[in-house]
Amino acid sequence: MVRQIADLLKDVQHKKPLVHHITNYVTVNDCANVTLAIGASPIMADEVAEVAQITSISASLVLNMGTLNQRTVNSMIAAGKEANSQGIPVIFDPVGAGASNLRNQTAKMILEEIKCSVIRGNISEIRYLAGENAKTKGVDASEGDLSDDITESIEVAKSLAKKYNCVVAITGATDIISDGIQTISINNGHPMLGSVTGTGCMCTSLIASFSGATSNYLLAAAAGILTMSIAGEIAFDRAGKAGLGSYHMAIIDEISKLSDETICRRATLNETYH
């Protein structure tokens, strides 16, 4: 698996897939920058009059609920349906699912009307989508959910993956990626990643970048998360003690410099089959 991820990085850099984002205004610039840093090409178009056309020329589509409004909800549905009709992978980031009626209704509508290839969220968001008892804390995972046993997180990911026939990725101290049959756990990363706004959204953009270069979305999700995790480790060693601002920039720097050799040397992951 690690060698496949390393090879996929080279494929992204060669193919430079166009990644269409309908995302949030808090993290949009960072999402564009990490997409460029990994070797893909970002476009951020959320006007309903053009989203279908932009999606049709893209290699993948990100739907991110971070800063919802009715206009962008309509755009997400239009873009998602176009992506499905063209066989373009949809990467869904259900930011804050469980926190408000609007977010809950939007997530439900997206999952009912659009075939998602990958759903990436924190444990609280994924627990909510899976119909489990989730404790929300705005757009962050709650302490109660974070304290749950990793085995339970794996079962939640597997259950949601089977329900929607997709890949489910839970990012946290240990990252879990599952398609319901195969599950990957990643133990790279650094706690400081959780102190920088948007690292989850950026991770979704990385997953979309890799998804634009392969039809193996389990591999793409693992590649995106591993990329962010390894970059977070190296960035902390280089700039973590300087503070959050320096660390933030260093993450993007390290993603832009990431090589297949570094992935193979530093990756810590496990695979299980069910």
pLDDT at position 47 over 50: yes
The predicted pLDDT at position 148 comes to: 54
On the CB side of 81, CA atoms within 13 Å amount to 10
The boundaries of the domain holding residue 70 are 2-273
The predicted pLDDT at position 142 comes to: 45
pLDDT average, residue stretch 255-259: 98
**Mean pLDDT, rounded, of the chain:** 94
Q: What is the distance between the alpha carbons of residues 160 and 129, in angstroms, rounded to a whole number?
A: 7
pLDDT at position 147 over 70: no
The predicted pLDDT at position 232 comes to: 98
Nearest CA among 155, 250, 160, 270 for reference residue 199? 250
Other CB atoms within a 10 A radius of the CB of residue 232 amount to 26
The predicted pLDDT at position 269 comes to: 96
Q: What is the distance between the alpha carbons of residues 108 and 47, in angstroms, rounded to a whole number?
A: 22
pLDDT at position 215 over 90: yes
The token duo for 261 is 């050799």
Q: Is the pTM of this model over 0.85?
A: yes
pLDDT average, residue stretch 58-77: 97
Percent of the chain scored above 90 by pLDDT? 93
The beta-strand segments (E) located in 23-143 are 41-44, 60-64, 90-93, 118-121, 136-137, 140-141
What's the number of domains the chain is made of?
1
The predicted pLDDT at position 274 comes to: 77
Q: What is the distance between the alpha carbons of residues 249 and 265, in angstroms, rounded to a whole number?
A: 23
Q: Mind listing the pLDDT tens digit for each residue in 102-127?
A: 999 999 999 999 999 999 999 999 99
Residue 174: give its domain's CATH number.
3.40.1190.20
